[in-house]
Amino acid sequence: MASFKMTQGVSRVPEDVFVEDGMTVTSGGLTVTAGGLTVTAGTSSLTGGVVIGADDSLELIGVTSTTGTIAVTDDTATVVTIAQPAGTILKDLIGIPAGNLVTGGSSGNDLDVYVGTASEGEQLLAATALMDDGGSAVTWVANTPLYVIENSHGHAANFFATTGIGPKGGPATTEAIVVAAALYSAAARNIYVTLEPIGADLATAATTVKWIAVFQTL
């Protein structure tokens, strides 16, 4: 059977519809109102925001944004924009670098992170040394996820240390991450996540960072 292509929204899937070569919904969306949807083979790919659950139970909404190349230069900000849906709280904020990030190696050569409701703002998280250089270069290893905010909480200093409870490859030293304001918003808004080298240029930074935000409906 050839691929089944639908160009308008479908509110109910008829019984006994079989598709061998694939099915494409090009507009309007596809809603299954009874019986559920089962994928028994292959890989499912979702290219927009992902919603799990219902808003009257436990609805989680995942949003992903990737930076441009992280700025090497001291005091130069790299910002990503993430859309927060109405009636949600920021549950998790996870950063994943595509390559190694390394500080300059002298005391104060940090990589700061901050989160705001305006571009380069600090309303939700004030500037904090995600990589806190005390005189020895600090490395955030490629493909190491850091939960900058986890379950709507911050972290104690050095939470990501590879010798502690943090992930293997996380920076050895980090300032305490303290949430500065309520992460809940009744109205839809954008939040802005910024990375900025301070004190000196980064030693290595020709890479990008993917940010994953998980919002929980309240």
Predicted confidence band at 42 (pLDDT cuts at 50, 70, 90)? low
In the chain, the largest separation of any two C-alpha atoms, in whole Å, equals 67
- Under 8 Å CB-to-CB from 64, ≥6 apart: which residues? 210, 211, 212, 213
pLDDT one-digit tens code per residue, 165-214: 889 999 999 999 999 999 999 999 999 999 999 999 999 988 999 999 99
Closest by CA to 80, choosing from 99, 69, 67, 90, is 67
pLDDT one-digit tens code per residue, 56-90: 557 899 999 999 999 999 999 999 999 999 999 99
pTM above 0.85, yes or no: no
pLDDT one-digit tens code per residue, 115-143: 999 999 999 999 999 999 999 999 999 99
